[in-house]
Structure 1
Amino acid sequence: MKIYWILALFLTGTSSVSVVLNHPTSLPCGNCENVVWRKIFPIEATVADCQKRKCIIKESFRQRFNVMHEENNSLFLKSAKYNDLGQYVCSCDGIDKHVNLEVVVPINVTVVELRNVTLPCYADTQSGVSDVTWLHNEKKALYYTTKGAPIPGLGYEERVSLTEDGDRDGDVSLTITGVQQTDAGLYRCFVRDETAKGYPHAYMLHVISKTR
């Protein structure tokens, strides 16, 4: 059964959505009249059943979930809880679309503007790992491969770096120098083309204005 489920995801394709704990998000669907939203992993349950834009939200999901018809029947989540993570399926006029929801629980880090900050992250780099990616919100803050120098994201030029020779020891921590207000937000650490998470995986960076 599990092999069949994994094969089905491979054949139909799946999209991924990440949300910070207790924050809102939406899962995309499509433009159609009849929509059924289901959760299929780690539990199996119907979330919403909509026929011609009239929806019945199942009781256990009613307080936080809603279907947004004006946004192509997206499943809107008012405040994501940890148990909301998993695999969802939108059946749009009989055509299934798979969506994976990741609920991120970041570590809070506070830094004063213009100072430097290091976000620790570690990964097993001894088994063929050749790349590291740090995302700031959904954009790349830094990308590194063992075949070349680290590539900073737009706005991070000459301000971000990894631990020197860290890929040898499994230390892929990110240092930001001269922190700016625009640096605030969610940071996530990945290896293997963003398929594997580093540890710790996520930080929420808060930037305090420098007092004169």
Structure 2
Amino acid sequence: MRIVIAGGHGKIARRLSRLLAARGDAPVAVVRNAAHVADVEADGAAAVLLDLEQVGAAELAPHLDGADAVVFAAGAGPGSGTARKDSVDRGAAVLLADAAAAAGVRRYLLVSSAGAGAEPPAGTDEVFAAYLRAKTAAEEALRDRDLDSTILRPGALTDDPGTGHVRLGTGIPHGAVPRDDVAAVLVALLDEPRTAGLTLELSGGAVPVAAAVAAATERED
């Protein structure tokens, strides 16, 4: 499979690229910093140098030609303010959806966040609240488009080694999850077209990744 990953130098994205490349897939990492090209190429990904805050869908779409799926794993990152939470976490996600539609790529995986889908509780830090609202808006925009999309809402991300075991579904308690396991779940979602249309929450757990994805599809059948 040829998988185009927006935010290709991010911690989840790089793990995803390495997993895909190791099994013979062709990941493509969209990065905005030329200094990151060598890193993603070392992961086994082809690099596309584009700033998703500066281009339009018509400029991005040709880089998606022939892709089997796109994954939005970008984020404004620590230290960014409310404006960039919107321009990246919402705006770039919508841009990728529009470019995918223009390129005829139907499969779209969105890495969202636990807590998205509802108004942040009173007292939530202003920037984090903006982040959650941006993720919610991106989810809503994606559902409005004619794409085979899956929304994944991981809990607090850690750099602990992956366990290969997770908790995945709807209405599950928020909990931390290693980025290794998020990447593994993304691979499993790419392999399971029946997850299209689902919004799934993710935390650390006791169920093997493949079984957790299979169970999620069975609950929705």
Q: Provide TM-score, normalisation by structure 2.
A: 0.23
Which structure: greater strand fraction? 1
| Higher RCO, Cα 8 Å, sep 6+ | 1
Q: Provide TM-score, normalisation by structure 1.
A: 0.24
Which structure: greater helix fraction? 2
Q: Look at both structures and tell me which one has the larger radius of gyration over its CA atoms.
A: 1
